[in-house]
Amino acid sequence: AQTVTQSQPEMSVQEAETVTLSCTYDTSESDYYLFWYKQPPSRQMILVIRQEAYKQQNATENRFSVNFQKAAKSFSLKISDSQLGDAAMYFCAYPNFGNEKLTFGTGTRLTIIP
């Protein structure tokens, strides 16, 4: 079974600085996707970025980028120029092949310090 591990329960960063959130996963599949989701205090889970395992290039969405290390099964999220609105729980997630049900990590609570 797939597992997703987020080893940082909480992180904090000064506004405008850069922060990296860690995620490792376990799978026996060779082709798959990985997601980072953001859950602000308003609760709605929002997709931040996704990575396709067969692509060597790391995904980037504006200030958000990933460092995908397939061999190490590592999928970290880098947030550049942190803003107050980035404060949220961040979840790494792996979709199961076929039904795409998501396995989530336990999350990292990110605090932005003004």
Q: At its nearest, how many Å lie between other proteins and the CB of residue 42?
A: 7
Site string for other proteins, 83-112 (x = CB under 8 A): --------x-x-x---xxxxxxxxx-----
73/109 with CB nearer other proteins: 109
64 binds other proteins (CB under 8 A): no
Q: Tell me the site size for other proteins, rule CB under 8 A.
A: 24
* CB 68 within 8 Å of CB 51: yes
Nearest partner of 43 among 13, 88, 108, 93, judged by Cα: 88
> Quick check: 57 binds other proteins (CB under 8 A)?
no
Direct distance between the N- and C-terminal alpha carbons of the chain, in angstroms, rounded to an integer: 41
Spatial distance between the Cα atoms of 48 and 34, rounded to a whole number of angstroms? 11
The angle formed by the CA atoms of residues 72, 39 and 54, to the nearest 5 degrees, is 30
Q: Which residues bind other proteins (CB under 8 A)?
A: 4, 33, 35, 37, 42-47, 50, 52, 91, 93, 95, 99-107
